[in-house]
Amino acid sequence: MKIAYLSTFYPFRGGIAQFNARLLKALSKFAETRAFTFRRQYPDFLFPGKSQFVQADDKSEPIDSVRLLDTINPFSYFSTARIVKSYAPDILITKFWMPFFAIPLGTVLNRLKKTTFNISILDNVVPHEKRFGDIAMTKFFLQQNHLFVTMSKAVESDLLSLLPKANFIRLVHPLYDHFGEKVDTTQARRKLGLPADKFILLFFGFIREYKGLDLLIKALALLPNDFHLVVAGETYSPFNNYDKIIRELQLQDRISLFVRYVADQEVPLFFSSANLCVLPYKSATQSGIVGISYHFNLPVVATNVGSLPEMIEPYRSGLIVPKITPESIAQTIIEYSKQQKKQFVQGIQKYKTIASWDYFAERLIESSPKFAK
């Protein structure tokens, strides 16, 4: 069996590129694979971060991918389809997370759907930040696929609202297990310049309005002084508003800010230094941050949105915040701090048994009509 995987790969960086690289490696155990990626993913003026590409100090694993698709050059849509088709794949996998990619990817899929089994792994269907035309473009993309993979009930519901007869399977988001091992907590805190004697709360990942960092900062003001917040991640929206809240609440000494892209080799330091990972999201589908946290056996407190409860409650690997308010977030953090971490780590081990990349890859391959034959 031959599998083509068209999505974000090295030299692009970020969580989606990491997901794709990890899944490609697993797929390669069962089939012949080839990675195809973007010649241009976003125009620079549309990209809110510092860089789309792996930097010299990033220790990312290189992926041998063919750079073809230019999202703002329609001619590349057809040339990409032609080159991918010449590989003669049995399965073509794409990953979909925002409508910006619907037309480029959808056009490629349209040119191959008569000869190839098209599978899309859906991070989001309805975007967190909606714009005119999103639904029409997304529908076009969805109609070019034979099967969808969802990783949450929320995404499944959104998919069926746009494509009621969609063929889909739901799988658990695998753990990001490529960051290496946990390091000594004292050593990690010393390297990051964090207080050695505080209860460290970690907010990790790209900073966007819907992720509720403002709520967590306000919650910190309601917690005793022995709680300290670490914010680590590149901002995708102005950070001035958060700075203002920090100053108004006089929390400068209780927050450590690492507002920048966090390279892979730094990730163990942040998760090893923390007592708890907090996801105060205002909206969500699934979250890769949970998968990173579980890899380091770090429990999670998260708001009751999207699939976050599905990733936590059945396993008792953390606690769910009942209301999306600073008061409720603070109360749940206090509740967690009074319990034994050991019981939550045991829950994480249960999650790990079903969250493997190999299982995810096998289910994709088994879904192909060729496999059934």
pLDDT digit string, tens, across residues 67-113: 999 999 999 999 999 999 999 999 999 999 999 999 999 999 999 99
For β-strands 117-122 and 91-96, DSSP reports them as parallel
What pLDDT sits at residue 52?
67
Instruction: List the one residue out of 236, 243, 309 whose CA is nearest residue 279.
Output: 309
Is pLDDT above 60 for 267?
yes
- The span from the CA of 317 to the CA of 166, in Å, is 32
Query: For residue 56, what is the DSSP state?
Result: T
What pLDDT sits at residue 51?
62
Grouping H, G, I as helix, E, B as strand and the rest as coil, residue 258 is strand
Neighbours of 47 (CB within 10 A): 12
Instruction: List the one residue out of 281, 274, 271, 334 whose CA is nearest residue 311.
Output: 281
Instruction: List the one residue out of 285, 282, 128 whose CA is nearest residue 218.
Output: 282
What pLDDT sits at residue 95?
96
- The span from the CA of 70 to the CA of 80, in Å, is 9
What pLDDT sits at residue 137?
96
Give the chain's radius of gyration (CA, Å): 21
* pTM (2 d.p.): 0.74
- The span from the CA of 260 to the CA of 205, in Å, is 10
Q: Give the relative orientation of helices 153-162 and 134-142 as an angle to the nearest 10 degrees.
A: 90
What pLDDT sits at residue 46?
59
Are residues 179 and 295 in contact, defined by beta-carbon separation less than 8 angstroms? yes
Render pLDDT for 240-254 as a digit per residue (tens, 0 to 9): 999 999 999 999 999
Is pLDDT above 90 for 150?
yes
- Provide the percentage of residues in the chain whose pLDDT is more than 70: 94
Return all residues near 338 (Cβ < 8 A) that are at least 6 apart: none
What pLDDT sits at residue 29?
95
- The span from the CA of 78 to the CA of 108, in Å, is 7
